[in-house]
Amino acid sequence: MASPPDRRFQCRAVRSPRGATTTEIDWADGHKGVYPHAILRGYCPCAGCQGHTGTIRFVESSATQQELEDLEIVGNYAVRLQWFDGHGTGLYAYKYLRALCQCAECKAPEPVAGAGEAVEHPDLPRV
Ligand SMILES: [Zn+2]
Ligand SMILES: [Zn+2]
């Protein structure tokens, strides 16, 4: 049985102008999500970036890797991001994106990633 949709995890609109370095998402509860591409790419949830361990890691990426080529809404639960370097296997579930929000209100003190260093982010849900 399906539970009633949680408005916090319903995406109303995604704004990602070509050449932008930040993507914005309007959530159905009125929240405006802010997603710098370094964060989106760094937390790409695909198995290639995250491996199969239980925790989500932040992976350093280059400027080219942070250029968004295309995005696609998948079903009613996720956004697939296609990056300029050809990487496009990351399926970002709304719940995951909501946890990644970098707006002033949500922004946690982390992630603080050193150069080439992977930072574990155990609070993020696996998708
Ligand atoms: Zn990936
Ligand atoms: Zn936020």
Question: Which ligand is nearest to the Cα of residue 101, counting in written order?
Answer: 2
| 114 has a pLDDT exceeding 60 | no
CA dihedral 1, 45, 125, 73 (to 10 degrees): -40
Question: Which ligand is nearest to the Cα of residue 85, counting in written order?
Answer: 1
pTM listed for this prediction: 0.81
Give the Cα separation of 4 and 18 in Å (integer): 34
Structure confidence by residue, pLDDT tens digits, 11-54: 999 999 988 999 999 999 999 999 999 999 999 999 999 998 88
Distance 80 CA to ligand 1 centre (A): 10
